[in-house]
Structure 1
Amino acid sequence: MIKFHPSPEQLTAFAEGTLSPVESLMVSAHCDMCSRCETRVADEVERAALEFDEPATSSHTEDQIYKSMFASITQVPADEATYLSPKAAPSAIELDGRKFELPRTLRRYASSMGNWSGLVGRLWQAPVDLGEAGVAHFIYMGRGGSVPEHTHRGCEYTLVLSGEFCDGLNTYDSGDFIYMNGEHTHAPHSDDTEGCLVFSIVDQPLHFTSGIARLLNPFSHLFFR
């Protein structure tokens, strides 16, 4: 069950189109997995459409305005339709023979995904080129996999795509939207029998805070950045 969502303010800003590209991407992908937030965004878009409505506007025109505004936020631009055909944008990614279905928003980036690379702690990561928005990562934690305790020099947005993980602060399940910054210190690990796949974006390298992992800080730009 999804327990962690974007804030009401983020959902409103997303509906108004005022979020940063990175936040918009993560909120949109979460809405693909969360009917509650998808409905909230649709309501906000409809409200915004009605604010622009004139008294003489027909209900048919209102419906067209609403659909147009919602599509501009949540759908792929029309001029990308050829490039983002089902063949060019697969609906799933693979790791060691396992397939993971992607939220609709993230499917457009599947063709920009790099190769998987194994890290210590039963971790695998694959970079995703987001263009001007930077680089994201698919991160898979196998059963018993973990990321050393760390905090953040900047911000981290994470969406759980499959499975479950804990970090000493909370337990997160598929669809959960997670925001971390320098006020948070956590140590993600997964005991899920199927492991856990997340999609994560950080704007600054991690800062490891515990044990021998602190020796990795000069090289932390190599981890999920």
Structure 2
Amino acid sequence: MIKFHPSLEQLSEFAEGSLSSVEAIMVSAHCDMCERCQQVVASETERLAEDVLDSFDARQSSEFERMLSSITQLPPSDKSDRPSRTTGSCEKFTIELDGRQFVLPRTLRRFVDKTGNWSSLVGRLWQAPVDLGFPGVANFIYMERGGSVPEHTHRGTEYTLVLDGEFRDGINAYDTGDFIYMDGDHTHAPKSEATKGCLVFSVVDQPLHFTSGLARLLNPFSHMFFR
């Protein structure tokens, strides 16, 4: 069951299109998986539309009605003029790791072809880098059963969406669909004990800062971690 959601403010800003690119992707992907947040966004979108219509003065309203009338009176378009859809093209719905297929939320499917190869990290971790096309280091990260990320905090922000499975980080327990935001006020150590492990999609805007054990030796090189 999804327990962690974007804030109402984030959902409202998503509806009005004022979130940053990274935040919008993460909120959108969460909404793909969360009926509750879909309903909130739909309600906010409807409210914003009503606000726009209410802001029309009489002249603007009259012009809008004339435009709408002219559109509805146009003859139907000839379907033969429409470009045909390429029959061989199809959207990729999944990513694969070691023979296992993971179905992605709709928002993330456009990044399948921009996802690099999986690489194995220490701690039973796997990562596959994703080219978002704008600032932000993004990765699909898979934790095998018993897999963990060393305890760390953040120099910037980290958005994580649980795509499959569950994990704990010493702060909370997270399940499929959960939306997680971390910053410099948080220190955590993600670890999955799920039988089939856990797949997440994560975006950070600054390198991690490791806070415990030998992992602290990685801090001078943390810009290379989760590249």
For Structure 1 versus Structure 2, the TM-score category normalised by the shorter chain is 0.7 to 0.9
Partners of 1:180 and 1:25 in 2: how far apart? 16
Partners of 1:14 and 1:198 in 2: how far apart? 21
Structure 2 residue matching 1:132: 3-state secondary structure: coil
Tell me whether 44-53 or 192-201 shows the greater mean CA deviation: 44-53
Aligned to 1:212: 214
Aligned to 1:41: 41
**Contact 2:95 2:101 survives alignment (8 Å):** yes
**Contact 1:150 1:187 survives alignment (8 Å):** yes
State the 1:86 CA deviation.
5.5
TM-score by length of 2: 0.85
Deviations 1:181-220 (A, max 9, x none): 0000000000000000000000000000001110111111
Task: Choose the corresponding residue for 2:100, options 98, 101, 104.
Answer: 98
**Contact 1:164 1:195 survives alignment (8 Å):** yes
Aligned to 1:197: 199
**Contact 1:90 1:110 survives alignment (8 Å):** yes
- Runs of 4+ more than 2 Å apart: 54-58
Aligned to 2:15: 15
Structure 2 residue matching 1:216: 3-state secondary structure: helix
Flag structure 1 segments of 5+ consecutive residues without an equivalent.
62-81
Aligned to 2:167: 165
Task: Choose the corresponding residue for 1:107, options 106, 109, 120.
Answer: 109
Give the 5 Å matches for 1:33-182. Answer: 33-53=33-53, 54=56, 87=90, 89-182=91-184
State the 1:223 CA deviation.
1.4
Deviations 1:158-177 (A, max 9, x none): 00000000000000000000
User: What is the CA RMSD across the aligned residues, in angstroms?
Assistant: 1.8
Partners of 1:141 and 1:215 in 2: how far apart? 22
**Contact 1:125 1:137 survives alignment (8 Å):** yes
The aligned length equals 201
State the 1:138 CA deviation.
0.0
**Contact 1:202 1:224 survives alignment (8 Å):** no
Cα distance change on mapping 1:187 and 1:86 into 2, 3 Å? farther
| The structure with more radius of gyration | 2
Structure 2 residue matching 1:46: 3-state secondary structure: helix
Aligned to 2:75: none
Q: Matched residues, percent identical?
A: 70
Aligned to 2:74: none
